[in-house]
Amino acid sequence: MKKTCIECKQELPETSFHRSADGRMHPKCKTCRSSYERKRRKKKKDSRLDAIEQDAVDVFCKAARLGGSTIPHSAELIEVLLEYFGGVRGFGNVFMKQYYDSPPGGAHRTKMLETLVRLVNANTAMGGAKKPLSVWTEDELEEELRQRLMETAITLKALPVSRAVEVLSETAPAEDPGPS
């Protein structure tokens, strides 16, 4: 027996149609039904992603509208975005997948590499290349604290620059002459 699909209008054998539990045949052939289901799933996924995106924008706008210390810091924003990718490793995986999915030598790969270089340069310029505080020695911590206090004093004009230089030279750690 043959049956006509209501979607593609082709006359196909009954084996090309799904049967329901009660024995009736679906009006669309397996190919058309599969295509329809694929589109429906994609549409559902897109609507969920749109909802997530809208929620994120709403939260950001609400926080920014309040002003003051409630404006999200860029580090917080990046942290939350990375959570959606599964953390730093997840983001790296997505980045590499996009890189390898792009044609070799193409503009997309080049732009990705340029973006990565800019990101590393910006991170280094902001002190991201420094070692974590947890592995600093006492001397390094004291020196950093002293340096920052001086910079703050100069910025607030609580200490003239000439006096700051004197204080820095007085409190600088003495050079170790080494083994005698």
> Cα separation of 60 and 66, whole Å?
10
Residues 92, 104, single domain; the answer is yes
Helices assigned H by DSSP within the chain: 30-66, 74-84, 87-101, 107-125, 138-155, 161-171
Is the domain of 148 the same as that of 123?
no
Give the residue with greater pLDDT, 81 vs 31. Answer: 31
Where is mean pLDDT largest: 20-34, 51-65, 124-138, 150-164? 20-34
Structure tokens at 171: 């409190």
* CA gap 82, 89 in Å, rounded: 9
Q: Which pLDDT score is estimated for 180?
A: 46
Range of the domain at 152: 133-171
The domain boundary, picked from 113, 130, 147, lies at 130
Question: What would the pLDDT profile of 65-76 be if each residue is shown by its tens digit?
Answer: 665 555 566 777
Residue type, 81: L
Answer whether residue 27 is part of any domain.
Answer: no
State residue 167's pLDDT score: 65
Separation between Cα atoms, residue 154 and residue 82, nearest integer Å: 37
The bridge status of strand 11-13 relative to strand 17-19 is unpaired
15 within some domain: no
> Residues 24-51: pLDDT tens digits?
888 999 999 999 999 999 999 999 999 9
Q: Domain for residue 21, yes or no?
A: no
Say how many domains are in the chain.
Answer: 2
Q: What is the pTM of this model?
A: 0.38
Is-contact 64 71, C-beta < 8 A? yes
